[in-house]
Chains A and B, each alone.
Chain A
Amino acid sequence: MSLSEQIENPFLPEPARIVRQYDLIKDHRFFQIRFIDMNRAMSFDYVPGQFAMLSIPGVGEAPFSISSTPSRPGILEMGIRRTGNLTRALFKKKDNDIVYLRGPYGNGFKIEPMVERDIIIVAGGLGVIPLRSILYFVLDNRDQFDELYFLYGARNPNEFLFKNEFFQIKAREDIDCLYSVDKDTTGDWTENTGVVTSLFQKLPKIDPQTTTAVVCGPPIMYKFVIKELLKLKIPKNMIQMTLERRMKCGVGKCGHCALDHIYTCIDGPIFTYWDTLHFRELI
């Protein structure tokens, strides 16, 4: 046996095929990816809120949230914004092209504190990409959870991600979807207009003792959303949020994601609001 076969290498990126891809909005693309190795494709078990490292040889590697749900195994979905070298190269890939993945990494959402409770999912902008995983996970295991509220705000209708899917879900009886745009630039927006926090007025009466909240969005959004959730008296440790930091290794070795005395790639990227009060600098 050669050395490479004997040694387990957590940094080894494994080949995966782009099964399908399409633009969500300008510079944001949706990817469905499947490991070439069928066993790997089926054994890649993850929790909503985890991420994977995606490599393009010669260009580099970067972390991306897994947007699909483990309740639908086999194919991994990601929503990716074009910002730099790696994402630019990724956007040049076509269906059937090969990329490389390793993971899953990070702690993921704690599901247990959500079971048999009401759930409020609050997403702002790109933050909906990781939250889509927990959204579908809850929908696929619907009987394990009580009320489900999904609040999503985008800047304008042209920046509203997963529009078709999310409007389809809206028709379901077992979820309360509240959508908003900061500004209606198109004139045919049928939902709420205003910042995402304005959706809180539309919520029915919430019992804070039986409610868990899950939040992801741009840094500035957290402050305002948390304020609303605290107004509803949801306990601080029942507010889970995902926080991004620069990451290189994903497994607690490279130091890039260090904050205070934690590594966000293993201790995060999901933290409760309570955690963030203890680990300063988180938000």
Chain B
Amino acid sequence: MRILKMKPDFLKEFLMGLEGFGALYGPKRQSGILKYAPIESYDELVLDGENTLLPLKRLFHPMRFDMFRFDSRGFEADYSIFEKRVIIGVHPCEIHGILKLDEVFLVHPPDPYYAGLRKNSAIIGFSCLPAENALCRSTGTDIVAEGFDLFFVDLTDFYLVWVGSSFGYDMILEKEDFFDENVTHEDIQIYIEWREKRNRMFKKSFNFRDMPDIIELSYKSEIWDYFGKKCLSCGQCTMVCPTCNCYNVTDVLDLATETSGRRERMWDSCMFADYSLVAGGHNFRHARADRLKLWYTHKLKAFAHKYGSPACVGCGRCVETCPVDINVLTVSEALTSCEVPEE
């Protein structure tokens, strides 16, 4: 992979110049909430370590969109969500999150909506320093080797820019003068120091490596009942988690007709009571414990069809979000120590 150097002074002009490759998107604050949204000016971009409330998945697996239009002649696919985009400021864990979603949405038969959004989007990654609840060092997702077109590592005096695709290289060619091929020994030293400094900054960690076995062994553990009793079935954990892919589909008729309308797809959560994994007979608390177990099986043991690797990318959002402190830290801690957290 090619690695180049760039002076911070050029960043604004370079990024804003990418407009020619697609509409610019990036983390920006709207009504106090940090979210991926269209960027109009460079000053809106938030390129520090802060997590957006909702992960990058919302740009590829939208919260709600129309799959089809239908009328008396049948169904017609609606691809109006496709748009050429350049998404700036994507952290390593987010890129890992998308690579996980690829494993679901792009395996045969590929989901044409996700695939189309993916194909039309360039990803400009940015390094970050660990936030309060960052767990990506535990999950091995603190750095990325693929899944981006360009990746900027901020070393204060300069950026190291990884070129991850030929599309990324085209972007570089647009502003060739900004980049320097000459990465010196000294630069490498600075990079290593930055890595070490960053590694030391993680405040939280958990035993991700051993979790697959522990989850398997804890299948009958009463710890699930403990968390099941606390869980509010609010589904917020699934909304904020970069690797939750569940969705629901419903038909909506146009006003004043019986024959035409649209087939919509929207996020769903296995934590919702009506998700109906367990039909009839079971009591609610039990069902909630089962749903949590399924969720953590996906995150910490294995993910969906055939994929051996657990889906958690250590973004820490569940730690920040769950109103009753059910998250990868508390669950893995309880399963490892076989003790429920203190109230």
The answer to whether B259 and A57 have CB atoms under 8 Å apart is: yes
Chain B residues closer than 8 Å to A100, beta-carbon distance: 74-75
The answer to whether A252 and B304 have CB atoms under 8 Å apart is: yes
* A113 part of interface (Cβ distance < 8 Å): no
The answer to whether B79 and A255 have CB atoms under 8 Å apart is: no
* A231 part of interface (Cβ distance < 8 Å): no
Complex-state Cα separation, A281 to B297, whole angstroms: 13
Complex-state Cα separation, A7 to B244, whole angstroms: 25
* B234 part of interface (Cβ distance < 8 Å): no
Q: How many A-B residue pairs have CB under 8 A?
A: 113
Closest to A7 in B: B112
Most-contacted residue by chain B among A12, A60, A258 (CB, 10 A) = A258
The answer to whether A256 and B246 have CB atoms under 8 Å apart is: yes
Complex-state Cα separation, A256 to B272, whole angstroms: 12
Complex-state Cα separation, A259 to B294, whole angstroms: 7
The answer to whether B305 and A263 have CB atoms under 8 Å apart is: yes
The answer to whether B109 and A58 have CB atoms under 8 Å apart is: no
The answer to whether B75 and A252 have CB atoms under 8 Å apart is: no
* A13 part of interface (Cβ distance < 8 Å): yes
Given A12-B68, A280-B219, A254 contacting B246 (CB threshold 8 A)? yes
Out of B68, B247, B276, B302, name the residue touching A246 (CB < 8 Å). B276
Given A253-B111, A254-B268, A15 contacting B74 (CB threshold 8 A)? yes
The answer to whether B302 and A58 have CB atoms under 8 Å apart is: no
* B28 part of interface (Cβ distance < 8 Å): no
Chain A residues closer than 8 Å to B247, beta-carbon distance: 248-249, 253-255
Complex-state Cα separation, A13 to B112, whole angstroms: 14
Q: Nearest-CB distance from A65 to chain B (Å)?
A: 17
Chain B residues closer than 8 Å to A251, beta-carbon distance: 109
Chain B residues closer than 8 Å to A4, beta-carbon distance: 76-77, 79
Complex-state Cα separation, A40 to B258, whole angstroms: 28
Complex-state Cα separation, A259 to B109, whole angstroms: 20
Encoded as 1 (CB less than 8 Å from any A CB) or 0, chain B from 59 to 88 comes to 000000001101100111101001000000
Out of A11, A261, A280, name the residue touching B304 (CB < 8 Å). A261
Out of B79, B219, B259, B275, name the residue touching A3 (CB < 8 Å). B79
* A266 part of interface (Cβ distance < 8 Å): yes
Q: Nearest-CB distance from A155 to chain B (Å)?
A: 17
Chain B residues closer than 8 Å to A254, beta-carbon distance: 245-249, 268
The answer to whether B75 and A57 have CB atoms under 8 Å apart is: yes
Chain A residues closer than 8 Å to B245, beta-carbon distance: 253-255
* A42 part of interface (Cβ distance < 8 Å): no
Encoded as 1 (CB less than 8 Å from any B CB) or 0, chain A from 235 to 247 comes to 0000000000110
* B107 part of interface (Cβ distance < 8 Å): yes
Most-contacted residue by chain A among B67, B68, B303 (CB, 10 A) = B68
Complex-state Cα separation, A245 to B278, whole angstroms: 9
Interface residues of B in 248-286 (CB under 8 A from A): 248-251, 253, 258-259, 261, 263, 268, 270, 275-277, 279
* B105 part of interface (Cβ distance < 8 Å): yes
* B38 part of interface (Cβ distance < 8 Å): no
Complex-state Cα separation, A7 to B75, whole angstroms: 14
Complex-state Cα separation, A262 to B307, whole angstroms: 9
The answer to whether B105 and A7 have CB atoms under 8 Å apart is: no
Interface residues of B in 280-306 (CB under 8 A from A): 290, 294, 297-298, 301-305
The answer to whether A255 and B70 have CB atoms under 8 Å apart is: no
Which interface class (under 10, 10 to 19, 20 to 34, 35 or more) fits B?
A: 35 or more
The answer to whether B77 and A9 have CB atoms under 8 Å apart is: yes
The answer to whether A255 and B246 have CB atoms under 8 Å apart is: yes
Chain B residues closer than 8 Å to A206, beta-carbon distance: none
Given A254-B246, A258-B298, A261-B303, A13 contacting B75 (CB threshold 8 A)? yes
Complex-state Cα separation, A251 to B105, whole angstroms: 10
Chain B residues closer than 8 Å to A13, beta-carbon distance: 74-75
* B153 part of interface (Cβ distance < 8 Å): no
Q: Nearest-CB distance from A35 to chain B (Å)?
A: 12
Chain A residues closer than 8 Å to B294, beta-carbon distance: 258-260
* B104 part of interface (Cβ distance < 8 Å): yes
Given A8-B112, A9-B77, A261-B298, A60 contacting B270 (CB threshold 8 A)? no
Complex-state Cα separation, A266 to B109, whole angstroms: 11
Closest to A246 in B: B276
* B116 part of interface (Cβ distance < 8 Å): yes
Out of A10, A61, A280, name the residue touching B109 (CB < 8 Å). A10
Encoded as 1 (CB less than 8 Å from any B CB) or 0, chain A from 34 to 77 comes to 00000000000000000000010111110000000000000000
Chain B residues closer than 8 Å to A256, beta-carbon distance: 246, 248, 268, 275
9 tightest CB-CB pairs across the interface, nearest first? A255-B246, A261-B302, A10-B109, A57-B70, A4-B77, A7-B112, A3-B79, A9-B112, A58-B253
* 25 A-B pairs (CB sep. < 8 Å): A7-B79, A8-B109, A10-B110, A13-B75, A57-B259, A57-B261, A58-B70, A58-B261, A100-B74, A246-B279, A248-B247, A252-B305, A253-B105, A253-B245, A253-B247, A254-B247, A254-B268, A255-B268, A255-B270, A258-B294, A258-B304, A261-B303, A262-B305, A263-B305, A266-B305
Residues of B within 8 A of A (CB): 67-68, 70-71, 74-77, 79, 82, 104-105, 107, 109-112, 116, 219, 244-251, 253, 258-259, 261, 263, 268, 270, 275-277, 279, 290, 294, 297-298, 301-305
Extra contacts, 11 of them, besides A9-B77, A100-B74, A261-B302 (Cβ < 8 A), are A7-B116, A10-B111, A11-B112, A12-B68, A14-B74, A58-B251, A249-B249, A252-B104, A258-B270, A259-B294, A261-B301
